[in-house]
Structure formats: C-alpha cells, structure tokens
Structure 1
C-alpha cells in the first residue's frame, strides 16, 4: 500500500450541473463535488497533488474539448491517472452509456451527438501509460425525478469496466444515484469526501480504494442510499488516496484536538457527531452567504425549513445509547462549548454561529429521538436551548432564536413549569417581532410594553394607574370640582362607568373625558381578566 507520487500523477474532474434540456434536472451539488474534490486532492488531507496537475472542468458542453482534456491526461500521467465524473448518465440509441453535458438532448437519437460517449473515456483510459488508473462515476444512467440522479432503467455495470482500471460507481445497474436536496454534495461523493477527511479507527493507516469502497458499502445502504459498486480492482485497489486521520485512535499520537474528541466517543455517537458538525457547517455557510448580501435577502424561513429536513433525516438515523446516565445528555460534548464559551457578540461570529447551529441540531435530535428523557435531562436540554437563543439574536437570526425559545418552552410545558414556559414564550414572541420588517414591529413593541405579549399580565396594573392619573388631571383641569372629588369620581368611573346623571354638573368636556376613561378602563379590565384567567386556569 502506498500513496501516489504527486509529481507523476494527474486528476481530471468533470461535472455537469446545469442543463438546457428541461427533462434533465439541474444538480447544484455537482458543482460543490468538483470544487471540494479539487481542494481535497491538492491538500495534505489527501496526497498533496500540485494544483496545476488537478484539472476541474464544470459545465463544459463540447465533447471534443473534454476529449482533449482526457488525451492530455493520458499522455502526462505516469503513476496515477484519476478521472471523476458527476452528472446525469444516459443511454443512447445504440444502447451505450453517455455522460450528459449542459447541451445534451435526452432524445435517444440525439444523445450520441450531444453527450460525452463513455467509449471515448473507456478507450483513452485503457490505453493510457499510467501505472494506476482510477475511474469514479457518480451518476446513473437515465433522467431523474426531483432529487435522484437517475432512474431504474440503466445499462449493465459491465459496460463501465475498463481493463487495468479500478472503477468505482455510485450505484448498481438497477439503482439511481442520489443527490439529496439541501445537501452540499451528492450522497456518494459526500460520504467519499467525509471518509477521506476524517478516516476511521477501523480502517488501515492508508485509505486504499478497497478500504474506501468497503466503508461506503457499509455507510450508504444504512442511510437508504444505493449500494455502490467496484470493478476491475486488481492491484490498483491497494493504491491509497489519503492517510487515515482516524488510524490508531486508541494509541498515543500527535493529533489535533478535534480528532482526540471524536476518539473518546462511541463509534455511533462519533459518526452522528460528525454528521451534525457537517450539517452545521453547510447551514452556517448558507447563512453567512445570505447575510453578506444584506438582511433583506435573508429568508430565515427557507433556511429553517432546510434545516428541519436535515434534522428529520438525522433523527431517523439516531439510535440513543442503551447505557447512559440519567443525568447526562448524549451530545453533551457539543453542548459544552455553548455553555462554557462566554458570548461576545463582536468576536469570531462564524465560529460562534457554527457552535450554536451545531448545538441546535444536536438538541433537536436528542429532543425528537426515540428515547424518553428524564426530568434532569429535559431540564438540561431546555437550558441548552435557552443558551443558544440569545447568541442567535445577537447574530441577527431572530427566527433561529425563536425556534430555540419555542423548543425550550415546550420542554418546560411538559415538565409543568409554568413560569419557565411563559418566560421562554415571552422571549420567543420578542424574537418573532424582531424578525419582522421594521415598519411591522410597532404592534409587537406595544404588546410587549403593555403586558409582555400576554405573559406578563400584571404589567397592566402600571398602565391602569397611569391612565387613571392622566384622566384625573385632565378632568380636574376641565371642571371646577375639587381634586379630591375628581379623584374619587375618576376612580369609580374607571372601574364601573358612572351614570350620566352623576356627571351632569362637571361640564361637557369633563363628561367626554369621563366617557373615554370608562371605555378604556372597560377594555383594559376585560383584557386583564382574560390574561389572568388563562394564566390561572388553563
């Protein structure tokens, strides 16, 4: 087993993400596949290929241009020749495989003229002089619906076998490859990247093609993704693409703190933790890209909808540890950063945002998981939600804060902690008000000042006293009665409207003021009674 010689190796990454034919759905994750793979192969995380030896071609429409890239690669590569394609795979009228390009026409009679014939790629790689040849196909072989990169109608996998070449395919002949909506990468390439970046303590020191394939065969079907395939391995399968960052987890080594943290966790929790961190990183990247364009362009509703889809998938895969203490949370290692870090709104916003999003995702998984939390665990989880809500507001993400406050309130409701529940609901209402356009916040601010959105009903007594004082002064100024008489009259009128015969001697203006006072008093007393009734009897 060995790594390729960077100076004698070449990589060609081909991706098709946009298509003029409306029957071919666009694949935005393919563009990320290409950029992420290029970054990986040219870094120390893989085999440190010089950037000039890694060619990334995205949305090239000309088969002739791609043919030139392939031939140049075959001429220059001596140790490793790696070709990667991600996009739609189609079957031509001749029954052969064709790799779709932006201008590809899906009509079988026209596919052969507008797509990249796989036979070109097959012949070029078969005759290349490189000692090791690797072909990675992240596609399947016909159109897809919504988020699948192909359909069940496909050619046999044997068509992609190339003598002397290790061929990795993202799905079997009768399965579609998957490009999950909302994910940064396609399913196959995403797991491929993750494994090379993080490794595994169950894999050898060098991540060979066989080790990579074995990992993907275990992980992808477990998440209801197609089972990947591998063909014509021979000795090429023993060539490595990266060093295993997770190798020797139980032995002393010079490693980074992140790796050490994962080592202390069980494999299941470590895997789920990594998926949480990866999902958080993608969400943070989306949010920061939107925030950089200005708050008016940020649609937190869409962002949270996408996050909810991701959380639902993770909840479905989450299996709580069978043995754990009743007073501890499964993802306490994620929450600890949130609780221990002293929040400073002006520093390291990306790191802090990532920390809060990771904690939010973990808390939602733990809150929605299969296991029933103890009272202590529920209290701690509510504390987590409250701890991450305020930083979200400081980062101008009030809807994220509202979600955290709402989840905390729900936990307090189940625990029958009314005071904590209403406190969290109050902060949720405030966060929702902040998420509205400035011109629509006035009503919310007024409701907060008067009665704390209904969760602080006793504030109304302050407003009642102010109303009484104001009306008393105004009525005294408009009449000739002594202040004591006016004060008594105003007090009685505020609580129970006076009969017109009782106010006949105060003058017209004073009578009008008394009428206004009695109306406002009746309204505020009805509101107060309703809020107190809800608080005491609901």
Structure 2
C-alpha cells in the first residue's frame, strides 16, 4: 500500500484499527454472532460517515482497497493469536465501504469486488462465522447479477444457502435444509436429483425382487422402471403377485414427485440463464 494516495492510506489504516477492535469482540468464546453483525453494521456506518474520497479518476481495473484484499487472501498469524484474523475482517469492512460508499464502481470493479466477497465468504465459513459468510455471499450474488454472470451468481447462491443453514441451531428446520442440499443443492443443482432417482429405482427394484423372488428378475426390473414414470394397472402386476401392488403404487408417487421437482428446478435454471 506504499504507492496508494494519502486518502486511501488514511482510510485503510482506519479500517485496520476498526477491524482489530472488532476482532477482539468476534474472538470471544461467548460471542453471539447476530449481535456481532449488529456491531459490525455500526463500524461500517461510522466509516461511511467519514468516507469522502476525491472524485478524481481512479484506476478502473483494480478494486479500491486492493491492498487490504491482497493481505486477507493469505492472512498471517494474527498478532493476538485470534481464531478469526483481523485482516479478514478488515477486508470485509473494506468491501462494505466499496459496495455501499459514494464511489462509483466500473463494471470491472463490480466483478472484482464480487470475487473478493466470495473469497471472504469462504474464509468466514472456515472461521465458523456463518452469518458473516452469508452477508459476504449475499453481496457477491448481487454483484454477479449486475455483471450478468449467472453461473457465478448461482455458485454463490448455493454457498449463501449453506451458510444460512450453518447458522441455524440443530433441529428440524436445519435437518430439512440439509436434506434439500443433499437432494438438489437448494435448487441450484437440479441434475443432482437424477442421482437420487437412480437410487430410488435401485431400492424399489431390490424390494420387488425380495417380494417376488429372483425367478422373475426381468419382469420385476421392467415393472420397477416403468412404474416410476407411469402408474401400473392391476393387470400389469398380476403376474408378479398382489403383494407388489402397494410397492409399485408407492413407487409411482415417489416418481411423480421426484420428476415434477426435477423439471420445475430445471426450467427455473433455464429461465435464469
């Protein structure tokens, strides 16, 4: 940061001081992250109130606080031995100033800032600050959408959903969200659902063979595959025995729900492209 203009050096030093003070609170064992975020907003608001950069031309190809971001990429051992290095929090504060401040960013700077937010989100999740990570990913999604980078926006949207789930206490809601992640990546990975379709087919086929016996292996396999997409009639299952009627009826319901969700998510993804 030796080559930075005086105004940038001054605000960067102020950001670093605020980040060290905030890190002392964030690293307390009994710290509540939601309360921390409210404190974080206060730090950012204070800096925004004093942040009045000159309107002179700036380098359009680099972020405003590139020096702080560069240090945060590979944070050195913190001077206090803190779990969350202050340089990472300094980079997050700097990104908030750049995002919410009076500076008019170019398209290139928006894209670079989105990348920095994405990196901070990954670091903050690693440091067990999921709510802070969610804030970073939320900003990244917004900036990637401005840049019309749909794939990057979806990638950060998935990480945003995961960070929000990590912030939840253990319980039914978190279990449901974890299940959604495993089944289809919160809707961002619809093709993952096809893997679970194959698993369902394998399970229903195995149960059917267990009921009917291996002597009707081919017929059971055929009925299992076709019933998943098309309901089997009573005449279709007569050769396999009445014990399979309930099995293939249940399979049809699983198939209808699974494929309906898959196509709904697929269409949603296509329309976002």
Do residues 277 (structure 1) and 16 (structure 2) align?
yes
- From the two aligned structures, give the one with the greater strand fraction: 1
When Rg is computed on C-alpha atoms for both structures, the one with the higher figure is 1
Could you tell me which runs of 5 or more consecutive residues in structure 2 were left unpaired when the two chains were aligned: none
Residue in 2 aligned with 1:537?
271
Aligned-partner Cα distance in 2 for 1:370–1:272: 14
CA-to-partner distance for each residue in 1:107-153, whole Å, 9 max, x for gaps?
A: xxxxxxxxxxxxxxxxxxxxxxxxxxxxxxxxxxxxxxxxxxxxxxx
Report deviation, 1:370.
Answer: 2.5
Contact 2:124 2:130 in 1 (8 A): yes
Map 1:85-484; keep pairs closer than 5 Å: 261=1, 264-289=3-28, 291=29, 293=30, 298-321=31-54, 322-339=56-73, 341=74, 350=82, 353-440=85-172, 441-479=174-212, 482-484=216-218
Aligned-partner Cα distance in 1 for 2:122–2:80: 16
SS in 1 for 2:27: helix
Report deviation, 1:324.
Answer: 1.0
Aligned-partner Cα distance in 2 for 1:507–1:449: 35
Aligned-partner Cα distance in 2 for 1:454–1:535: 8
Aligned-partner Cα distance in 2 for 1:463–1:343: 43
Map 1:496-515; keep pairs closer than 5 Å: 496-515=230-249
TM-score, normalising length from structure 2?
Answer: 0.89
Residue in 2 aligned with 1:102?
none
Aligned-partner Cα distance in 2 for 1:274–1:364: 16
Aligned-partner Cα distance in 1 for 2:204–2:50: 64
Report deviation, 1:268.
Answer: 2.4
SS in 2 for 1:526: helix
Report deviation, 1:352.
Answer: 5.2
- From the two aligned structures, give the one with the greater helix fraction: 2
Contact 1:409 1:424 in 2 (8 A): yes
Contact 1:393 1:401 in 2 (8 A): yes
TM-score, normalising length from structure 1?
Answer: 0.47
Contact 1:338 1:387 in 2 (8 A): no
Q: What number of residue pairs does the alignment pair up?
A: 269
Residue in 1 aligned with 2:225?
491
Map 1:14-93; keep pairs closer than 5 Å: none
Report deviation, 1:378.
Answer: 1.8
Contact 2:26 2:84 in 1 (8 A): no
CA-to-partner distance for each residue in 1:156-201, whole Å, 9 max, x for gaps?
A: xxxxxxxxxxxxxxxxxxxxxxxxxxxxxxxxxxxxxxxxxxxxxx
Report deviation, 1:304.
Answer: 0.9
Contact 1:343 1:391 in 2 (8 A): no
Aligned-partner Cα distance in 2 for 1:533–1:309: 41
Report deviation, 1:364.
Answer: 0.9
Change (3 A) 1:360 1:342: closer
CA-to-partner distance for each residue in 1:70-103, whole Å, 9 max, x for gaps?
A: xxxxxxxxxxxxxxxxxxxxxxxxxxxxxxxxxx
Report deviation, 1:462.
Answer: 0.4
CA RMSD of aligned residues (A): 2.4
Do residues 526 (structure 1) and 260 (structure 2) align?
yes
Report deviation, 1:316.
Answer: 4.1
Report deviation, 1:354.
Answer: 0.5
